[in-house]
Structure 1
Amino acid sequence: MRLDKPAGTYYLLLPCVFSTLLAAPLTAPIVAPTTAVGTITLFAIGAFIMRGAGCTINDLWDRNLDPHVSRTRLRPIARGAISVHQAIPFLGGQLLAGLTLLLQLPWQCFFYATPSLLLVGTYPLAKRVTNYPQFVLGLTFSWGAFLGFPALGIDLLSNTPALVSAACLYGSCVAWTIVYDMIYAYQDIRDDVRAGIKSIALAQEHNAKMFLTGVSALQVALLAGAGAAVGAGPVFYAGVCGGAAATLGYMIRVVNLRSVEDCWRWFRKGAWFTGGAISVGLAGEYGARYLGWYGEDASRSVGGETLLQSKES
């Protein structure tokens, strides 16, 4: 379950945090902070369980590859400490725990979350068929970008602005996954060559920072789109988009991709460096809406597809 390396849990949790904070101002009446915090707490437990399940699935698929990579050769199945026949029932227990947790959320979340299991079960195979497995990982790890909305009672299928916002948020999280996991992949770049593993680090080795900058720019643009779809205010753009741009730009500038230690350091930092900046910006936007700083023109509805207009309109 990689309990000693919780960064993966943080990266799985943060899209859920983003979507919950983005959805919170859209409810009518606007949900209380305690409700938002309680929802995020449930997501945190779920991220802990499902990240562990993802690690088990990954180790099962990669049991013949892990022994050839220095960073992974001591994983339990790879070194023979745990057999496949032991790992499978353990995985079943993890998935049952995840289902139990999921059922604590509104019932609609079950239908929004279930399709992600296909990605969870197959993303470890991506490194065998594409040089960009990080994109597939992004599709998997970013699924929480959709779940905050139904968790707070917003049906994405009947609310077009919320659906567009969630889709933009999902796309931005996919782009973010490519950025942080590309940095992570540079730890294994030499071993991947020997093991025959496909990697974005190998594919973009000669223009890595330019590629990272381009994907980061896409991430920020999609974050802006998520805010525009629901009429976000200046706090959103300054905190979320500005915070993401500043932290990503700094990380890309200073990270030493030739240093295994520095890549690992920035992979761990990135969760709460960039993810923290985005979360603070979203919390600020939610707080501004909750306290009525934007006035009556900024009020919004959850049931319809359009934003509520001012009295003059």
Structure 2
Amino acid sequence: MAAPFRISSLLSRPSSFARTSRQLQTTSIKRWAVSSSRPIAQSLANTETTSSTAHEALPPQAYKPPTAGLLSHLPRSWVPYAELIRLQSPAGTYYLFLPCLFSTLLAAPLTNPIVPPSTVLYTSGLFFTGALIMRGAGCTVNDLWDRNLDPHVARTRLRPIARGAISVNQAIPYLGVQLFAGLALLLQFPFACFYYATPSLLFVASYPLAKRVTNYPQAVLGLTFSWGAMLGPPALGIDLLSHTPALVSAACLYGSCVAWTVVYDMIYAYQDIKDDAKAGIKSIALAQEKNAKAFLSAVSALQVGLLAGAGIAVGAGPLYFVGVCGGATATLGYMIRKVNLKSVEDCAGWFRRGAWFTGGAISLGLFGEYLAQYLGLCEEDKEQGAKRT
């Protein structure tokens, strides 16, 4: 019991950097208050509830409780905790779930006998529940690390920890509950999944630090969000270490999903490019600002190439390459051509749509390949081809 107390004490204690930053921020707020004819005392009071950095803070903005959607129906005291796990923004959950779905559909034809659709559906349902839980845990970890940065970015300044609705000492036990829930769900899978899934926690904890040391934190996010690509085979009883085609296919799929994460999260990052530059936050959007669409196209080509490699490794049929690779190429190309990277609204819209635009195309292609294998259509094609030769 002593360890959580020490961790929370360290997280809640301001560092010397933060104390110096607060002094600098107080000076900037005084200047802002004078220029806007507001009482200095009121402006200083706002800074007491805001984490600080060495950069000039954004002017105070009032928080408005949700009046529509799921959160509007929750008790008022629950809303900050629902916001902390981004319950109102499900796109992140979809992006975490889709690699799990991809790997389940890709692995299903490798089982002997091929598992029925009911098993695929049940396994996918477990993965979706796990994605919902672990995405929330990742958001909690991210907001704990970023509590001194979020108040200085317009899009994140009203997050629960940043605005003071949830304290660090409240967020840590909440995180513990989420992790225990994730563990309980993980134990519903074959026990081998426990060993394959556990290493992903290292990436969950380290991603928020990546933006402090590299211009490409999206690559670290990709390593985190794509881990489900490795879990489909063991979830269906396939041992990756003894099944070389499944291992190679899963590795290619994992790499493809990492590349996809870089694409969609780079578009997402363009929402904050101005605030990131002011706050000193590293970002792929800043690093590739001059050749953004060329970079997106190159990474998308890598994604499609690795998808093709995943199919080749397991001997997939033509339906796979037309549906999966062709669908991914068409949707990614269209999105990159249409997205306006200078528009915050357009970037946000394409980030949300991209989950089921590109992800949906890949899923449909994989499901079509699975059904063809399950119904024996591919074997019929092979037999007819053999007779013709």
TM-score, structure 2 as length reference: 0.76
Query: Structure 1 residue 298: deviation in Å?
Result: 6.7
1:67-216 mapped onto 2 (5 Å cutoff): 67-216=151-300
1:44 and 2:143 equivalent? no
Letter in 2 for 1:139: L
Count of residues in correspondence between the two structures: 300
Q: Partner of 1:78: helix, strand, or coil?
A: helix
Residue identity (%): 79
| Structure 1 gaps, min length 5 | 300-309
Aligned to 1:302: none
| Structure 2 gaps, min length 5 | 1-84
Distance 1:56 1:297 in 2: 50
- Aligned-pair Cα RMSD in Å: 1.1
Choose which of 226, 239, 246 in structure 1 pairs with 2:323.
239
Choose which of 87, 99, 108 in structure 2 pairs with 1:15.
99
Deviations 1:107-135 (A, max 9, x none): 00000000000000111110000000000
Aligned to 2:355: 271
Choose which of 225, 235, 250 in structure 1 pairs with 2:309.
225
* Higher radius of gyration, 1 or 2: 2
Aligned to 1:2: 86
Query: Structure 1 residue 258: deviation in Å?
Result: 0.1
Q: Partner of 2:188: helix, strand, or coil?
A: coil
Distance 2:209 2:358 in 1: 28
Question: Which of structures 1 and 2 has the larger relative contact order (alpha carbons within 8 angstroms, sep 6+)?
Answer: 1
Deviations 1:240-283 (A, max 9, x none): 00000000000000000000000000000000000000000000
Distance 1:222 1:105 in 2: 27
Query: Structure 1 residue 296: deviation in Å?
Result: 6.5
TM-score, structure 1 as length reference: 0.95
Q: Which of structure 1's runs of 4+ aligned residues deviate more than 4 A?
A: 296-299
Query: Structure 1 residue 295: deviation in Å?
Result: 1.0
Letter in 2 for 1:146: M
Deviations 1:123-160 (A, max 9, x none): 11100000000000000000000001100000001111
Aligned to 1:306: none
1:35 and 2:119 equivalent? yes
Aligned to 1:66: 150
Deviations 1:217-236 (A, max 9, x none): 00000000000000000110
